[in-house]
Amino acid sequence: MKRVALLISGGGSNMLALVRDMAGDHPARPVLVASNDPAAAGLGKAAALGIPVAAVDHRVFGKDRAAFEAALLEPIAACAPDIICLAGFMRVLSPDFVGRFKGRMLNIHPSLLPKYPGLHTHARALAAGDAEAGCTVHEVTADLDAGPILGQARVPVLAGDDEARLAERVLAMEHRLYPAVLRRFASGNRTPVFL
């Protein structure tokens, strides 16, 4: 049974989708939900589900990223995860931190990578007049939003879409894609999932 630590920054909708899927017959189970924001709503939701939680406020550390990551590493190391899922985690992690979990840290990004790494992905897809948008689950490497792709799902861009409507459509697909990828990844299969 693989042990999964999940990192969030806000509501944690992807974290909840993953945790709910792991509640069934699944090769992994959640052992920690941690956040860089003590006020992240997802922490309360995870705690209500009986999952250990931790919060390390990045603001306390100012510009000292290394000190923040050292503090964040404590509760993560204490639960000895096999896999780390970044799920709406909005802090950029250093190559040193990422390197500690090489090949076993996943992230979901709201675009069809390699298109639109970084922020404001939906606005960029709309501005480009793309007919499709979507989301990608990838291995986290030192290069932001650029690791090996483990899954991708496409949604249509519809007439009249604004950023909020497209984001909602993509997020619903994220909640299907990420659990499908984690199931496969946790069973040792790295074949990408395409929905």
Catalytic amino acids?
Answer: 109
> Which of 30, 81, 88, 151 forms a contact with ligand GRF (CB under 6 A)?
88
> Which of 46, 72, 85, 110 forms a contact with ligand GRF (CB under 6 A)?
110
Please, is 19 exposed, middle or buried when counting C-beta atoms within 10 Å of its C-beta (0-12, 13-18, 19+)? buried
Beta-carbon neighbour count of residue 50 at 10 Å? 8
- Please report, for residues 58, 109, 127, 160, 164, the alpha-carbon distance to residue 120 in angstroms, rounded to integers and kept in the order given: 22, 11, 11, 18, 11
- Under rule CB under 6 A, how many of the chain's residues touch ligand GRF? 13
CA-CA distance, 50 to 111, in Å (whole number)? 32
Position 117 contacts ligand GRF (CB under 6 A): no
Position 30 contacts ligand GRF (CB under 6 A): no
Enter the DSSP assignment of 94: P
Minimum CB–partner distance for residue 11 and ligand GRF (Å): 5
Chain positions 163 to 182 lying near ligand GRF, rule: CB under 6 A, are: 171, 174
CB-nearer residue toward ligand GRF: 171 or 186: 171
Residue whose C-beta lies closest to ligand GRF: 88
Find residue 134's DSSP bridge partners.
154
Chain positions 6 to 25 lying near ligand GRF, rule: CB under 6 A, are: 8, 10-15
CA-CA distance, 113 to 136, in Å (whole number)? 6
Position 36 contacts ligand GRF (CB under 6 A): no
Binding site for ligand GRF (CB under 6 A): 8, 10-15, 87-88, 108, 110, 171, 174
